[in-house]
Structure 1
Amino acid sequence: MKWPLSKRREKPKAAQPTAGPAGVGASGERSIAIDTGGGDFLGNALTGDNTRVVQLPPEALRPPSEVEAPPGLDDLPLRPGTFVGRTRELQRLDAALSVPGQVVVQAVHGLGGIGKSTLAAHWAATRGARGHAPIRWINADTPADIEQGLADLTTALQPALAHALSVEKLAERALQWLATHTGWLLILDNVSNPADIAPLLARATTGRFLITSRLATTWHQATTVVRLDVLEPAESLDLLTRITTAAGPRNLDGAAELCAELGHLPLAVEQVAAYLAQNPLLTPRAYLDLLARYPATMYRHGAVTTQAERTIARIWNITLDRIATLQPLAADLLRTLAWYAPENIPVTLAAPLADPPTVSSAIGVLSAYSMITPDPGTDTLAVHRLVQAVARTPDHDDLHRTPQGIAQAREQATANLLTALPATWNTPATWPTWRTLLPHIDALADHTAQDTGAPRPASSAAPGTSSPAKACSPAPSDTSNTPSPPANGSWAPATPTP
């Protein structure tokens, strides 16, 4: 293939010499003539397109070690107007004392929406301000964000450098400043890759870092590691009540049930409370009804002040994108686990998805990003109930929740249960297995009936018992309470016979 010929570019003709004062002349493209009056030239002579002059005061040329931080450089985001609970976590952050000549690194990790950034902002504003200056907040999602945050620190310290140095050089100057000063607090919010901040941590020899991240397993070298969990029921109810009634008294019928349905996840409670606040005629119980009938719509929408990327449905999308890139099976596993009870899910229910190394890798990735919580003592997994609910809700606009993908996950969850079920159910030796699986059998049946409209199969509890838990815990001498197999239903065939 021949490339098209381009017209030869003609060389510009040399400019004709021009006579300057006292006979001084200039020739050639972009030439200038300067009359020094017989003395030395002390000044700037510039030529060229878009040429600009930056004049720096002498103090701007001082090395970073000699630059002191003036008052007023703190740049914390707006503090949350409503903050509840977290007493134990705040005390753990307080406990790490700064030591001369040592850097303090604290990490707060947890599920997206659990309140990591809120905790960091509240602590920095109310407790971290004691003895720390300046306090700087850096969004740490990407290396570019971190570099820009460091560059902003330099220009805050020395505004004259804003247009004199590149972002890269400004960031390097900030690193030098941090390495030669103490007393500062740097908050690195939402770190997605520890490698992005490794050079920053390595350069600092004093001061304090407060890191927030969804990653749970990479902070073993930190001074303090805080795992953030959901709010206590009373705390989430307090949060919902404060936001909903900020403009005046409201009918809060169903508020406690709504908080439980949201799994006491702070972000979800805040967003639902804001939605209720802007809809004075809507009670928490009415919201529960809408959530049951239109889950995809309610998870996708929030109040007018809710950012689209921060709605309940989208809060985990970025994490799932990264998880699917690292280990494609992990996203499939999460959708499968969404059909079981949220706690004490036996690892054996994940085994049929792939070979053991791949399944182990998928569990590890989900655990690292706080999407599931493994319990090594019992070989079980836990998934936040709101994560499960969203993962089971089809949405054509979400690649992780296509109707086809969710239907396949439900079928996989059913097949995995059938694989794990004992061949016989009326033998005492099989009762521990039934005791473990019955909550997930019932959950799968409930979710299938609720989320697909299929009829709910008969309860797996034995006749005369009040609950599956009682049914699967019979007294050995009383065979009338032996656990019954799951009833035939749309979600599973009859229990296999030996």
Structure 2
Amino acid sequence: MIPSEARSFQHRAEADRLRAAVESGGTAVLTQVLTGMGGVGKTQLAADYARAAWDDDGLDVLVWVTASAQSSVVSAYAQAGVELCRADPEDPEQAAKQFLAWLTPKPEQRPCRWLIVLDDIADPSDLIVHSNAPGNRYSLWPPASPHGRTLLTTRRRDAALFGDGRRRIEVGLFTPDESVAYLTAALNAHGRTEPADQLTTLAADLGHLPLALAQAAAYLIDSGEAAATYRSLLADRATKLTDLAPDALPDEQATALAAAWSLSIDRADILRPAGLARPMLHLAALLDANGIPQSVLTSEPARIHLAAHRTTTGPTPQPAPVSCSDAVRALRALDRLSLIDHQPDTPHQAVRVHQLIQRATREDYTPHQHDHAAHTAADALAAVWPKTERDTALAQALRTNTDALIRHAGDGLYRPDTHTVLYRLGRSLGESGQVTAAIDHFDHLAASARSRLGPDHPDTLTARGNLATWRGESGDVAGAVQAFAELLADMVRVLGPDHLHTLTTRHNLAAMRGEAGDVAGAAQAFADLLADRMRVLGPDHPDTFAARGNLAAMRGESGDVAGAVQAFAELLADIVRLLGPDHLHTLTTRHNLAAMRGEAGDAAGAAQAFADLLADMVRLLGPDHPDTLAARSSLAAWRGRAGDAVGAAQALADLLANRMRVLGPDHPDILTARHDVAAMRGEAGDAAGAAQALADLLADMVRLLGPDHPDTLAARSSLAAWRGRAGDAVGAVQAFADLLADMVRVLGPDHPDTLTSRGNLAAMRGTAGDAAGAAQAFAELLADIVRVLGPDHPHTLTTRHNLATWRGRAGDAAGAAQACADLLASRMRVLGPDHPDTLTSRGNLAAWRGEAGDAVGAVQAFAELLADMVRVLGPDHPHTLTTRHNLATWWGEAWDAARAAQTLAD
């Protein structure tokens, strides 16, 4: 009997495909197979097609077979044979064969137009009968006939069901519009109305599964409850699907929602490799319904789980190992029964599972099974999560699956301790640029660990440390310093002063103090930490090396660049001795040493060191490793500072393209790379292009990082500077003034970046024509910089240089010359005679001596400087060429016009 039409039956695209019984090439389709997961409405579509065929096409014979077992098919065929062919009812098999023979077209016989519907084929083998009698194997497939049609419905996707002219029609879920239309019609038929937004969200909560929508509508009608109440029950973990079934199933349904897939799971579990489908579904039920990377479900933890929980009958044997291919075949078995969608042709061979199948599976767990499966899923995610996330799509999929696991696992990921995958998720969020999301995650993780494990549990303290770290990365450096200081006090109280975690927290606090501008305090903290790590861990422990490296960096930041170079060189020798030349820590130390060499004045040496380092990084880490990309960026930057701004700009542009490919457009490293490219375009002579690129970058930085992030503020500073250099000095002054107000608000008046902004504003005021105002601003700034950074800090010396310059441009050439002479003495003492800044001071002193009236003395000073410039920087460096230009100018001022002309010609 054809099932009755469901109440509020929805006409769907699949119905139109069924009726289009001719392929595009003109060939008639004799057999069609409706396949899809349980509950999508295959039977109703088949029934609608059958009724229409009987009413409209003038069929002679229509046989509807409930084909869930072979015996049911044989019985239905036998009954038809008895009624149509006068077959013997006492011999069902013979009667069935007689009916199939009758359907076969015969010459010179009036055509019989027939439709056979085989509803709910559970196993393709059910359509082949194997009898004990010799040669008595026969097919239950209706014969091919130009006058007959066959329609199957099944959850199976086995290849045996398709081919030979059979058309496969996948039946999916309702569309959102179809779902709402169905619910509206079903409720309206009983005088019920619900807000459209509630029906829309209810349909989404039920995954647009027709069976679930039908039973939900019946529940609402029977109970009188509102859709919002039903949604609350559905969201309540304590409510099971069985609790949400109506008292009487609608539309002649035989199965409640919770049991809709039980037979499919049983059948999948007997497919080879037997017994693995059910435990595989147990894992998939805890992960993201919209896409689980195959590698997660075939990982070693997942395979151990499959082996330990293989479904067996009789005595339980020793668990046999499960291979990767066995795990894939288990996924294929689930796919064949439409319990999952396994997509092996996608980049990560994604596995999709309907959310209600997941829920029904989870509700079968015992508490012990639930916790074990949750831990296994977490282990599987952690096992495949790469340390370096080159594949951003995979990283996003792993994050999404971990989020799903957190929702489903409850307390399971906190017993006995916090699972490591929860920390990995937070780091992945931050490293991918989602810093705010990382903060929110670690804030929630710290609160969860505190409530479940206690405030002094090591996992709670670790979560707090991660939270502080990402607060600093977000730009809230002062908040991070405070958080690390509070954490350190608890670490000392709980773990003791010499515990590794306590020492690590001291390390992080010191680093964050440096980021907050307290370079001297950070250097002292690292010196104290180094002494304790030497005592507790010994001189050769990696953490001791890390403290030495950070101390060296802070020495450089505080102005002792030569001392920092020496410290990094000594550290590198020790790291090579203990770890070897190819260890990652060795490469990192070489990177830091090269950068500090550049800061000490040897830009060409830094560029060469980075070139050598880059070759080794490509060999050891590959061209796309983040550290390799960072080395390429540093190499380009130091090439620019060594005089090749055009080559550096091109190298940075090429690097940006590579980083975009590896990291995606919104990664923080991409924003930094775009900043570097824009700045180097300016240095290469395209000031207007640099300003435009920085304006575009600033908009993205505000969108991604927020207006107060330190990188956003740095981009605003660069944009203002290049606007000024492109000719808009007045606009640049206003931009620097606006930026300074925000710097004071966000970072405080004494932060090094705030002081730098004051210097930039002062310089741009001078460029805009107010030389006296610039000199006054620099004088005021100098007093604060000496107070905050000390008299020998590089920023202090630079401020003295700028003050001298603007005093001279304001008309006090003699005062400028004297200030330059005093500054030169300080730079000789602090930086040495060959540092580029020392050479620059010599040039400024020579120029201001000339401006003060001593043209001959200026010629002599520039001539001596030129010889040193050629020796230190080379004859083609821009600074060398500028010095030759200045020498020619002062030859002219000293009344030797012919010498000046020849020098300029050269």
TM-score, normalised relative to structure 2: 0.40
1:162-215 CA-to-partner distances (Å, cap 9, x unmatched) read 875432232222112211453100000011122222512264444110000001
What is the aligned counterpart of 1:94 among 19, 29, 33? 19
2:375 equivalent to 1:419: no
- Which residue matches 1:173? 98
- Which residue matches 1:60? none
What is the aligned counterpart of 2:62 among 135, 152, 158? 135
What is the aligned counterpart of 2:157 among 207, 216, 221? 216
Q: 1:428 to 1:301 in 2, by over 3 A?
A: closer
Q: 1:323 to 1:428 in 2, by over 3 A?
A: closer
216-225 or 344-353, larger mean C-alpha shift: 216-225
* TM superposition shift of 1:97: 3.8
2:140 equivalent to 1:200: yes
- Which residue matches 1:391? 361
Q: 1:388 to 1:164 in 2, by over 3 A?
A: closer
* TM superposition shift of 1:450: 9.1
SS across alignment from 1:362: helix
* TM superposition shift of 1:153: 1.5
* TM superposition shift of 1:80: 2.1
Q: Map 1:18-167 onto structure 2 (within 5 A).
A: 75-87=1-13, 89-97=14-22, 104-127=30-53, 129-131=55-57, 132-157=59-84, 161=86, 165-167=90-92
* TM superposition shift of 1:257: 1.5
* TM superposition shift of 1:245: 2.4
Please list every run of 5 or more consecutive structure 1 residues that lacks an aligned counterpart in the other structure. Answer: 1-74, 395-400
Question: What amino acid is aligned across from residue 359 of structure 1 in structure 2?
Answer: A
- Which residue matches 1:5? none
1:111-165 CA-to-partner distances (Å, cap 9, x unmatched) read 011111011111221256432332210011111100111122123336xx48754
Q: 1:333 to 1:238 in 2, by over 3 A?
A: same
Q: Map 1:179-328 onto structure 2 (within 5 A).
A: 179-180=104-105, 182-198=112-128, 199-201=139-141, 203-206=143-146, 207-218=148-159, 219-221=161-163, 222-252=165-195, 254-280=198-224, 282-293=225-236, 294-296=238-240, 298=242, 301-305=245-249, 310-326=255-271, 327-328=274-275
Q: 1:402 to 1:413 in 2, by over 3 A?
A: same
Q: How many residues end up aligned between the 2 structures?
A: 402
1:53-98 CA-to-partner distances (Å, cap 9, x unmatched) read xxxxxxxxxxxxxxxxxxxxxx4221223211412x1222122249
2:350 equivalent to 1:380: yes
What is the aligned counterpart of 1:366 among 334, 351, 354? 334
TM-score, normalised relative to structure 1: 0.71
- Which residue matches 2:325? 357
Question: What amino acid is aligned across from residue 442 of structure 1 in structure 2?
Answer: D
SS across alignment from 1:190: strand
Please list every run of 5 or more consecutive structure 2 residues that lacks an aligned counterpart in the other structure. Answer: 106-110, 129-138, 304-322, 454-458, 467-541, 543-583, 585-906
Q: 1:340 to 1:213 in 2, by over 3 A?
A: same
- Which residue matches 2:279? 332
Question: What amino acid is aligned across from residue 400 of structure 2 in structure 1?
Answer: P
In structure 2, C-alpha distance between the alignment counterparts of 1:256 and 1:461, rounded to whole Å? 31
Q: 1:95 to 1:337 in 2, by over 3 A?
A: same
* TM superposition shift of 1:308: 8.5
Contact 1:445 1:456 survives alignment (8 Å): no
Contact 1:290 1:298 survives alignment (8 Å): no
SS across alignment from 1:389: helix
2:398 equivalent to 1:437: yes
2:313 equivalent to 1:345: no
In structure 1, C-alpha distance between the alignment counterparts of 2:432 and 2:413, rounded to whole Å? 31
In structure 1, C-alpha distance between the alignment counterparts of 2:170 and 2:367, rounded to whole Å? 34
SS across alignment from 2:289: coil
In structure 2, C-alpha distance between the alignment counterparts of 1:274 and 1:413, rounded to whole Å? 36
Q: 1:239 to 1:103 in 2, by over 3 A?
A: closer
1:197-237 CA-to-partner distances (Å, cap 9, x unmatched) read 25122644441100000012323314311011100011111
SS across alignment from 1:254: helix
Question: What amino acid is aligned across from residue 318 of structure 1 in structure 2?
Answer: L
Q: 1:261 to 1:184 in 2, by over 3 A?
A: same
* TM superposition shift of 1:460: 8.4
1:320-371 CA-to-partner distances (Å, cap 9, x unmatched) read 1111222311111111111111112111110132211210110110111111
In structure 2, C-alpha distance between the alignment counterparts of 1:340 and 1:389, rounded to whole Å? 11
* TM superposition shift of 1:483: 6.0
Contact 1:80 1:122 survives alignment (8 Å): no
In structure 1, C-alpha distance between the alignment counterparts of 2:47 and 2:17, rounded to whole Å? 15
Question: What amino acid is aligned across from residue 255 of structure 2 in structure 1?
Answer: R
Higher CA-based Rg = 2
Q: 1:228 to 1:328 in 2, by over 3 A?
A: same
In structure 1, C-alpha distance between the alignment counterparts of 2:426 and 2:243, rounded to whole Å? 36
* TM superposition shift of 1:295: 2.9
In structure 2, C-alpha distance between the alignment counterparts of 1:451 and 1:92, rounded to whole Å? 46
- Which residue matches 2:490? none
In structure 2, C-alpha distance between the alignment counterparts of 1:356 and 1:460, rounded to whole Å? 25
Higher relative contact order (CA 8 A, sep 6+): 1
Contact 1:431 1:483 survives alignment (8 Å): no
225-234 or 304-313, larger mean C-alpha shift: 304-313
In structure 2, C-alpha distance between the alignment counterparts of 1:271 and 1:174, rounded to whole Å? 38
In structure 2, C-alpha distance between the alignment counterparts of 1:430 and 1:105, rounded to whole Å? 44
Question: What amino acid is aligned across from residue 154 of structure 2 in structure 1?
Answer: S
In structure 2, C-alpha distance between the alignment counterparts of 1:255 and 1:226, rounded to whole Å? 28
In structure 1, C-alpha distance between the alignment counterparts of 2:127 and 2:26, rounded to whole Å? 22
